[in-house]
């Protein structure tokens, strides 16, 4: 059983979340708390496998509660409940920066309690079941057996490393999901402005991607923007696909250009990494380097396969540094990856491949 603590000041939300979690035979709600202060105390007392945490609460809010839990060294996964507003987006990114693992949106304007429960269940339960196995330690009675991660991990065969295309890379592509905002901050902070455009798909709703781009733009050397229809994809600029829109790489008058669409979701996602990777192959062939970071699911695997077939290269984040090793694990398990690297080692590898005449640059040495 996965033991969950529910922290929320709303009686209605506490009951809704508790009821839908209890309906799953693999989940046990071991307690509830009415604010962040009580939540921090119950984390220490109950030792849950996962915490759901509201953001806005009296006495101690969810962001401060996350900080206090992390300050004790406790790495229990924490899923925030967020509102789909500008303010909610900023607060959610603050919570992720404080150490939260992921977030789900509170139900809004869905018409009925039943629909609200369905909406939350579909978003929350897959996240719980993805986050907990990655963080949970083996029980004492299982000490003689292999740890779950070691037992369940599929063998990974790395592809031989390819040299850069004859004319050099024309694009750096990045896909991420659960754990992605913080991983992107770490990655981009360690990169200088690159001589190729960088295009990112991070699974996030509208407003959230805009706030993510603004936050990264303040903190990294490159210019970071949310993608717009017809925007030129330029060297030195990082473009993040906007929430609820696929971003396609196209060409116009010899320039790389972003095209946005609301074509059907792929892998239940819009934006989808597969759409980005596939469009890049259609436009630049194999002259792209793709990086797959932490995330739930397998979005990006089919697009990475097409990129490799076209002559491109794929690098992925390793399991140890991923919040969830779904997306990078999928491309690695499919035999599409040339290097499987800890997150801090990915930026130097990008620099080595795209700027071979340069030595790796860290955030401390980067200038804007």
Is 177 tagged catalytic?
yes
Active-site residue among 299, 313, 318, 322?
A: 299
Q: Please give the C-alpha separations between residue 209 and each of 79, 87, 217, 223, in angstroms, as whole numbers.
A: 18, 13, 12, 15
Q: Are 173 and 276 in contact (CB under 8 A)?
A: yes
Catalytic residue among 82, 116, 177, 298: 177
Residue whose C-alpha is closest to residue 54's, from 33, 25, 69: 33
- Among this protein's residues, is 299 annotated catalytic? yes
Q: What separation, in Å, do the N-terminal and C-terminal C-alpha atoms of the chain show?
A: 49
CA–CA gap between residue 194 and residue 349 (Å, rounded): 13
Q: Using alpha carbons only, give the angle 197, 270, 114 rounded to the nearest 5 degrees.
A: 155
Report the C-alpha gap between 345 and 315 in whole angstroms: 11
The residue from 203, 245, 246, 248 that is catalytic is 203
Distance, in Å, from the CA atom of 334 to the CA atom of 326, rounded to the nearest integer, reads 12
Distances (CA, A) of 12 to 3, 7, 16, 24, 113: 21, 12, 6, 19, 10
Which residue in 226, 212, 175 sits closest to 329, CA to CA?
175
Cα angle vertex 367, ends 365, 368, to 5°? 155
Please report, for the chain, how many H helices and E strands are present, in that order.
Answer: 12, 14
What gap in Å lies between CA 340 and CA 155, rounded to an integer? 12
Residue with tokens 């991660």: 149
Reply yes or no on whether 203 is catalytic: yes
Angle at which helices 180-189 and 208-219 cross, to 10° = 30
The beta-carbon contacts of 253-259 under 8 Å, at least 24 apart in sequence, are: 256/170, 256/171, 256/197, 256/232, 256/283, 256/284, 257/230, 257/231, 257/232, 257/233, 258/199, 258/227, 258/228, 258/229, 258/230, 258/231, 258/232, 258/233, 259/229, 259/230
- Known catalytic residues? 177, 203, 299
């Amino acid at each position: 059983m996965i033991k969950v603590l529910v922290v929320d000041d709303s009686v209605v939300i506490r009951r809704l979340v508790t009821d839908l979690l209890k309906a799953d035979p693999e989940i046990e709600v071991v307690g509830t708390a009415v604010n962040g202060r009580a939540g921090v105390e119950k984390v220490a007392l109950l030792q849950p496998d996962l915490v759901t945490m509201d953001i806005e609460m009296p006495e101690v809010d969810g962001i401060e509660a996350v900080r206090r839990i992390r300050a004790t060294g406790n790495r229990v996964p924490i899923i925030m409940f967020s509102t789909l507003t500008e303010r909610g987006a900023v607060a959610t990114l603050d919570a992720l920066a404080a150490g939260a693992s992921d977030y789900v949106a509170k139900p809004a304007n869905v018409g009925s309690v039943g629909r609200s429960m369905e909406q939350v269940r579909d978003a929350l339960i897959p996240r719980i079941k993805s986050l907990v196995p990655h963080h949970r330690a083996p029980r004492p009675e299982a000490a003689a057996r292999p740890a779950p991660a070691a037992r369940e991990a599929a063998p990974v065969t790395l592809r031989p490393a390819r040299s850069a295309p004859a004319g050099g890379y024309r694009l750096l592509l990045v896909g991420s999901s659960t754990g992605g905002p913080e991983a992107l901050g770490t990655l981009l902070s360690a990169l200088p402005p690159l001589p190729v455009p960088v295009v990112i798909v991070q699974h996030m709703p509208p407003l959230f991607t805009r706030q993510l781009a603004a936050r990264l733009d303040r903190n990294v050397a490159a210019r970071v923007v949310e993608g717009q229809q017809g925007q030129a994809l330029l060297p030195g600029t990082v473009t993040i696909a906007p929430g609820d829109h696929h971003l396609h790489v196209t060409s116009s008058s010899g320039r790389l250009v972003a095209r946005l669409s609301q074509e059907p979701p792929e892998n239940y996602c819009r934006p989808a990494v597969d759409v980005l990777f596939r469009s890049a192959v259609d436009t630049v062939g194999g002259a792209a380097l793709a990086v797959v970071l932490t995330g739930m699911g397998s979005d990006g695997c089919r697009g990475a396969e097409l990129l490799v077939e076209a002559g491109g290269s794929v690098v992925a984040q390793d399991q140890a540094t991923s919040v969830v090793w779904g997306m990078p694990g999928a491309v690695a398990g499919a035999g599409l990856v040339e290097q499987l690297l800890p997150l801090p080692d990915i930026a130097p590898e990008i620099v080595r491949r795209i700027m071979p005449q340069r030595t790796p640059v860290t955030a401390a040495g980067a200038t804007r």
